[in-house]
């Protein structure tokens, strides 16, 4: 059943992305797409269903195209100039993308998303490579990522714990962390769980984005959780970061523009091979903002 035109309406949801070749929104250079697919492509299905003039995809932060979003990232759809349609909505999705928990929201949700983008912490898992580092050679595979609900609860609890620590943060633990890493690297242990691990870093706008952002220093916080040795100079590290931290630059140092970096701690240039977002801090949405669940079904394409 269809009805009259409506003004802008808002749908809130969560997405995951399991590919390293999908951008969040279309990216073009000289008119050519850098990546064939983007997460926001499914907005076409929304626009067709509501005969909308435009559907705007608004995300709570963004990950690079070659970074997997294996947790769930909040997003908002602003549907402009559509018509009411109460039939089930079919949403076309790439098989490497999932969306969850779509809910119609009041206009005030825009401010929740904007605030979350500026303030929400994230949990990452990174694969590192250090060419000249002589570490204990272990026969280990990259640990599988298992993100069941209990894991997500654990990550969110860890984020909240870190935020509490940052509020009372008084002294940098750079020397302690450096000693802990060096001790681990030269030991026969395969995994270390860090202690006293909140780290304050100074990041100057990365060279890769300085052409479009102010060239200034920003203070960010990192909590190192776990470091695991793999074979042939590879390592896996889990960490939590405050909002807006550049993880690639925290790993490689960005020619000294991020201090301290993992390259500093290892006393060797450290390369980021792969990066996954394990969790994004949950959005706390007042119940009165929620209108009703969206009636939809996902159709997956190769």
CATH number, domain containing residue 6: 3.30.70.2510
Question: Is residue 254 domain-shared with residue 289, that is, in the same domain?
Answer: no
Q: pLDDT per residue over 56-90, tens digit each?
A: 999 999 899 999 999 999 999 999 988 888 889 99
Question: Is residue 152 domain-shared with residue 218, that is, in the same domain?
Answer: yes
Confidence of residue 135 (pLDDT cuts 50, 70, 90): low
State the pTM of this model. 0.88
Question: Is residue 102 domain-shared with residue 188, that is, in the same domain?
Answer: no
With vertex at residue 94, the alpha carbon angle to CA 90 and CA 99, rounded to the nearest 5 degrees, is 60
Question: Is residue 141 domain-shared with residue 204, that is, in the same domain?
Answer: yes
**pLDDT at 190 exceeding the cut of 50:** yes
Q: What is the CATH number of the domain that holds 241?
A: 3.30.70.3190
- Domain assignment of residue 290, given as a range: 2-116+285-301
Residue with tokens 């608004």: 58
Question: Is residue 158 domain-shared with residue 276, that is, in the same domain?
Answer: yes
Question: Is residue 111 domain-shared with residue 215, that is, in the same domain?
Answer: no
* DSSP3 helix / strand / coil % (the chain, rounded to 5): 25, 40, 40
Question: Is residue 214 domain-shared with residue 128, that is, in the same domain?
Answer: yes
CA dihedral angle for residue 102, residue 106, residue 107, residue 112, rounded to 10 degrees: -70
Domains in the chain, number: 2
| Beta carbons within 8 Å of 186's beta carbon, 6+ residues apart | none
Question: Is residue 255 domain-shared with residue 163, that is, in the same domain?
Answer: yes
Question: Is residue 191 domain-shared with residue 103, that is, in the same domain?
Answer: no
Question: Is residue 10 domain-shared with residue 110, that is, in the same domain?
Answer: yes
pLDDT of residue 141: 47
Q: Determine the average pLDDT of the residues in 1-10.
A: 68
CB-CB contact of 11 with 101 (8 Å): no
Question: Is residue 6 domain-shared with residue 60, that is, in the same domain?
Answer: yes
CA atoms within a 13 Å half-sphere pointing along the CA-CB vector of 112: 22
């Amino acid at each position: 059943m269809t009805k009259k035109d409506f003004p802008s309406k808002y749908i809130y949801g969560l997405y995951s992305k399991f590919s390293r070749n999908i951008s969040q929104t279309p990216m073009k250079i000289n008119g050519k797409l850098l990546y064939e697919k983007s997460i926001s492509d499914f907005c076409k299905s929304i626009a067709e269903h509501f005969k909308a003039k435009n559907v705007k995809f608004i995300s709570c932060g963004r990950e690079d195209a070659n970074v997997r979003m294996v947790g769930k990232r909040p997003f908002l759809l602003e549907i402009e100039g559509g018509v009411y349609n109460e039939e089930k909505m079919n949403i076309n999705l790439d098989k490497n993308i999932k969306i969850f928990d779509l809910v119609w929201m009041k206009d005030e949700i825009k401010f929740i998303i904007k605030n979350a983008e500026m303030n929400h912490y994230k949990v990452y898992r990174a694969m590192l490579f250090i060419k000249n580092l002589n570490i204990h050679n272990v026969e280990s595979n990259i640990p599988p990522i298992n993100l069941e609900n209990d894991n997500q609860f654990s990550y969110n609890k860890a984020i909240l714990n870190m935020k509490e620590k940052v509020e009372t943060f008084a002294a940098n633990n750079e020397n302690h962390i450096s000693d802990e890493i060096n001790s681990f690297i030269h030991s026969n242990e395969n995994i270390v769980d860090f202690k006293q691990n909140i780290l304050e870093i100074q990041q100057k706008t990365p060279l890769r984005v300085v052409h479009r952002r102010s060239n200034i220093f920003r203070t960010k916080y990192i909590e190192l959780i776990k470091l695991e040795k793999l074979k042939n100079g590879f390592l896996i590290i889990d960490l939590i970061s405050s909002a807006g931290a550049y993880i690639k630059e925290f790993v490689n140092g960005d020619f000294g523009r991020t201090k301290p970096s993992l390259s500093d701690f290892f006393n060797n240039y450290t390369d980021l091979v792969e990066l996954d977002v394990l969790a994004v801090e949950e959005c706390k949405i007042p119940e009165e903002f929620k209108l009703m669940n969206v009636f939809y079904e996902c159709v997956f394409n190769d």
